[in-house]
Amino acid sequence: MGTNIDHAAVPGLLRRLAAIFYDGWLIVAIWMVGVTVDTFVGAGSQGSHLGLQLYVIASTVTFFGWFWMHGGQTLGMRAWRLKLLSRDGGTVSLRQTLIRSAGALLSFLTLGLGYLWMLLDRDGLTLHDRLSGTRLVLIKRD
């Protein structure tokens, strides 16, 4: 049973949020590894948690970046039949991944306004899609 990409179908906000929620559980599990290491390495000290903070950022960007550049789908995106493409329909580059990650963080920090942007955008793109030159498409089941 194959799948194909419907370039005309723009995934809705709820489908995108569902994929984010799904991937969020995986990210939290990865973060817990860092928290555990930080707890044992820094046991008894009141020191900085800079290493943990850098780990959280790096592991999140690496998680999404690797999946986006290798097939265009995280596990949550697979479950919800979403795929990330470059605006021209090709594979997402490292540069696009980094810009998209920063843009998604900005979208989140503005209380989700960057995600809600898609409701007003003529092409249904989020702010981080626009900034990075990427787009999500819906994969149709055959």
Per-10-residue mean pLDDT, the chain, length 142: 60 95 97 92 73 94 97 97 95 97 94 95 95 95 73
Per the domain annotation, does 132 fall within a domain? Answer: yes
Torsion sign, CA atoms 57, 62, 67, 68: positive
Cα–Cα distance measured from residue 24 to residue 17, given in angstroms and rounded to the nearest whole number: 10
Closest of 93, 73, 76 to residue 28, by C-alpha: 76
Per the domain annotation, does 44 fall within a domain? Answer: no
- Give residue 93's domain range: 3-39+49-141
Q: Which amino acid is at 132?
A: S
pLDDT reported for residue 41: 82
**Domains held by the chain: number:** 1
pLDDT reported for residue 45: 67
pLDDT reported for residue 2: 45
Per the DSSP assignment, residues forming a β-bridge with 134 are 86
Per the domain annotation, does 115 fall within a domain? Answer: yes
Residue linked to tokens 């493409």: 85
Query: Cα 120 from chain centroid?
Result: 21
Q: Percentage of residues in the chain with pLDDT exceeding 70?
A: 90
Contact at 8 Å (CB) between 27 and 60?
A: yes
Closest of 24, 106, 56 to residue 117, by C-alpha: 106
Per the domain annotation, does 107 fall within a domain? Answer: yes
- Three-state secondary-structure class, residue 134: strand
